[in-house]
Homo-oligomer: A and B are copies of this chain.
Amino acid sequence: MKNDPLSPPVGMRDFLPQKKALRNHVRDTLIRQYEQFGFGEIETSSVNRIGLLNNGEGGDNEKLIFKILRRGEKLNLETAKTGSDLVDLGLRYDQTVPLARFYAKNKHLMTPVAKVIQIGKVWRAERPQKGRYREFVQSDIDILGDGSSFAEVELITATIKALSAFELPRFKVLINDRRILSGLMDKTGFAEAEMPQVLIVLDKMDKIGLQGVKSELEKEGYAATAVQSIANIIGSLTGDNALKTLKEKLDNVDSAVFEEMEGIISTVRQLGEGDFDIRYELALVRGMGYYTGPIFEVQTEGYPWSVAGGGRYDKLLGKLLQSKEDIPACGFSIGFERLVMMLEDRNFEVPRSGEKVLVLFDKREAGMHAEIMHMCTRLHAKGYHTFVDKKRKNLKNQLKTYGENGFRKYTFFRPENNDAAVMDIPAI
């Protein structure tokens, strides 16, 4: 497969009409839902200056850039010492870094609070594996310029509404706040950088219990006092009361943070339509280093991964743009490829804009182009899409092929004006 010159490059894909139709439907549905909440789609260039991509905020993704060779005079192989002497551009690996550039450039042309949709391709030179691609689509919504938690409420509500359009199984929204996590680390004597590893262990509470968590943390070499201290807090949390308990224990965290979290949860719970729940989850961390406040994720029953994730990143834009001021920003991304995979897995049927009819003409009628097309026009007027082909000797086989390509109807061309009936293609 790897060396088949007819395949796309490793980790990249082609899409046949039926797969592409599903992708188009997902894209269109997401946009339609998001637009209700005032979001508008923007687009940034797929190709970016290498300096922007290598800004230090892209995390591991910066190691995965597809870099573009300089052209013409600017390419000097003799003096080039490293790859970067040869490179001036690269393909974007996410849509957040280009959004920062876009916003800095176009802020004055946008509404004071900007609500943007981005559904586009990104490229990452990852080690290929099942379900992980080197060219794939990301679907992001972001609210820029709103520091209030109304942004979170709207992002989460819009995402729930968008996902609800696809007849997915029950899903749950998990929410946490980076400031609570930092407070917990600080209070119990862990370093901020240890947060991810510590929380992976805490997340096993259900399976190994508090004692198991403690011994695992000690085995990993964390200080006994810190482990005891975090165990005391974690041990006192009881399900729905976790947030309230943390608020009491973490007096180093501004109580407004907890109130905001409670506010978001209760508001979304009131508002959201569809079969979902939202709850606080202490073990939710999210990968990217740039989050500064609330972080959230959507999980779907029966699937091992989250289908959407996001959070507030008030410092990223200012940092990327070397501005002294923070620019409040908050985003929620739906895993486009995962969503498509789930829908395929569930045999989701794409609504058709018009039913395709195979129009078969006879060998003797092959030259009657105008008459055949006139019949098509009459079928278009009835809302059908037409697909004309010559009747083959083995009609049954021919219909089977078209059936496999998603056709459900066929008819025969009649040279006169009295059209033949539209018939069903027998099921395979």
Binding site for B on A (CB under 8 A): 4-9, 12-18, 20-21, 23-24, 28, 31-32, 35-38, 40-49, 51-52, 66-69, 71, 75, 77, 80-83, 86-87, 89, 91, 101-102, 104-106, 109-113, 115-116, 121, 123, 125, 134-135, 148-150, 153-154, 157, 263, 266-267, 270-271, 321, 353-354, 356, 366-367, 369-370, 372-374, 376-377, 380, 385-389, 392, 398, 401-402, 405
List 9 additional contacts besides A14-B43, A14-B106, A37-B387; criterion CB under 8 Å. A21-B40, A24-B31, A35-B354, A47-B66, A110-B405, A149-B369, A150-B388, A263-B367, A266-B370
Contacts of A51 in B (CB 8 A): 5
15 A-B residue pairings within 8 Å (CB atoms): A6-B101, A9-B45, A9-B49, A13-B45, A18-B40, A21-B40, A21-B41, A23-B43, A47-B135, A66-B71, A110-B405, A111-B389, A111-B401, A113-B389, A150-B369
A149 CB to nearest chain B CB (Å): 7
Contacts of A28 in B (CB 8 A): 28
User: Are A8 and B45 touching (Cβ within 8 A)?
Assistant: yes
Contacts of A48 in B (CB 8 A): 8-9
User: Are B41 and A370 touching (Cβ within 8 A)?
Assistant: no
User: Are A102 and B14 touching (Cβ within 8 A)?
Assistant: yes
Contacts of A153 in B (CB 8 A): 369-370, 373
User: Are A89 and B66 touching (Cβ within 8 A)?
Assistant: yes
* Nearest-neighbor residue (CB-CB) of A52 within chain B: B5
In the assembled complex, the Cα of A51 lies from the Cα of B4 at a distance in Å of 12
In the assembled complex, the Cα of A317 lies from the Cα of B385 at a distance in Å of 28
In the assembled complex, the Cα of A424 lies from the Cα of B216 at a distance in Å of 63
Q: Which of B75, B82, B105, B135 contacts A46 (CB 8 A)?
A: B135
User: Are A80 and B77 touching (Cβ within 8 A)?
Assistant: yes
A422 CB to nearest chain B CB (Å): 14
Contacts of A77 in B (CB 8 A): 80-83
In the assembled complex, the Cα of A89 lies from the Cα of B35 at a distance in Å of 37
Contacts of A8 in B (CB 8 A): 44-45, 47-48, 101
In the assembled complex, the Cα of A233 lies from the Cα of B388 at a distance in Å of 39
Contacts of A380 in B (CB 8 A): 36
Contacts of A44 in B (CB 8 A): 8, 14
User: Are B86 and A86 touching (Cβ within 8 A)?
Assistant: yes
Q: Which of B23, B104, B112, B374 contacts A6 (CB 8 A)?
A: B104
Contacts of A402 in B (CB 8 A): 111
